[in-house]
Amino acid sequence: MTSNVDSIIDRLGGAEAAARLTGVGTEAVRKWRQAGTIPSRHWAAVIAATGLTLSDLPGGTAEPAALDVSEVPAGATAALVLADGAVFWGRGFGAHTAEPAPVGEVCFNTGMTGYQETLTDPSYAGQIITFTFPHIGNVGTNTEDIEAGTVAARGLVVKQDVTEPSNWRAVQHLDGWLRARGIAGLAGVDTRALTVRIRDGGAPTGVLAFPVDGRFDLPALRAQAEVWPGLEGMDLAKEVSCRQSYEWDETRWAWPGRVERQSAPKYHVVAVDYGAKRNILRCLASAGCRVTVVPATATAEDILQRKPDGVFLSNGPGDPAATAEYAVPAIRGVLDAGVPLFGICLGHQLLALALGAKTFKLDRGHRGANQPVQDVATGKVEITSQNHGFAVDPDTLPATAKVTHVSLFDGSNEGLACTDRPAFSVQYHPEASPGPSDSHYLFERFVAMIERCA
């Protein structure tokens, strides 16, 4: 007999115990109760923790659907296996995968340039990136276009085979660059079909397998995808954040390739690193700031004892509701101290949560460098760079916060500002890298706010 969600949570010992025993966040458990169902990706963990069978779960069946285990297509050396059993075959490149193969949420990015910056964006932790632009790798890789020291993404899927680089800045082939970082790629996939699948059905869980011996255990790969809990309830900011504080003074690039330093900063900004991209720090330095970067888990006391003129909340991966457990108290402490505050992406969502609003997971997410956003006050439209799978519910914002920007793709919230204190945020990436520079002015707006409060 099928059990209802409430009885299953009770059997686990309540919401907090359910989250702990199944390895998901309390927000994910809340969403189980709200939806009246448990997503299939959580079934294995629930079964292991309760002793129930698959047929006992809402939506479960006695046996999972059989997986097609036909022979590997000729020339295929790698595959993307989704939790629903779909298999996308192709040619592997980069590093061979170990066992178990990397599993993550499969998303797509519509950017036409900047694949190296995209791959090193910490916001992609826990995700396998499908690039909709077919020519990935054609300009090679270099030592400047990286946004973090490591690759947080769990793999990439592309249409065309990676060619020899044809750019004067290239110092290494993408294949070798990926191998050196232990990241696998899959080429030869109909990325249009995969993108349509994600667009229509939401981001699926998948496993990218590029085994050394060329042997594929498809049932095992599918099972691995099925039991992965997904990004809801998952705090990934701790994984990609810096481990200790450091100073940053490098400014935005002065082409062709000259690096400059901020030698006469006017204000001191503490940047909380939830997965910060380097170009964000460059933009702050270019705006006249001395930048101190602190870990995601920094408390309000840690931040305020540095006597900042302003505080910046960075981008980052994972579910904001999970990161909020330690981030929100710190942010509220900064707000209560009256220190000017600016957040982007995950930082925007965390500011909203600190104000008492709620966030939710988008069906598809926004990832690319061509996202139109409208300024509510002026009507002006900016083309923005974005990478997020969660959004702020504007209907839950308090009366002391107003919506400042909206997406022209789906109408979702893209910015907010407090009316009773010096704080604002945007959902998109004003630093771009890759992407347009339409929104660089927001860093100047932040500095202007600091000046008014000085």
Contact 226, 129 (CB under 8 A): no
Rounded CA-CA distance 281/292 in Å is 9
Q: Any residues with CB less than 8 A from the CB of 204 and at least 6 apart, and which?
A: 82, 83, 84, 86, 105, 106, 197, 198, 225
Rounded CA-CA distance 271/80 in Å is 37
Tokens of 65: 């659907």
Strand order in the sheet with 381-393: 246-248, 289-295, 267-273, 310-313, 341-344, 423-426, 413-418, 401-407, 358-375, 381-393
**Which positions are catalytic?**
345, 429, 431
Report the half-sphere exposure of 328 (CA within 13 A, side-chain side). Answer: 15
Tokens of 320: 């904001």
Rounded CA-CA distance 28/385 in Å is 28
Strands in 51-193 per DSSP E = 78-82, 87-94, 103-109, 127-131, 155-157, 184-187
Tokens of 363: 């069906």
Whether the ω angle into residue 256 lies within 30 degrees of 0, i.e. cis, is yes
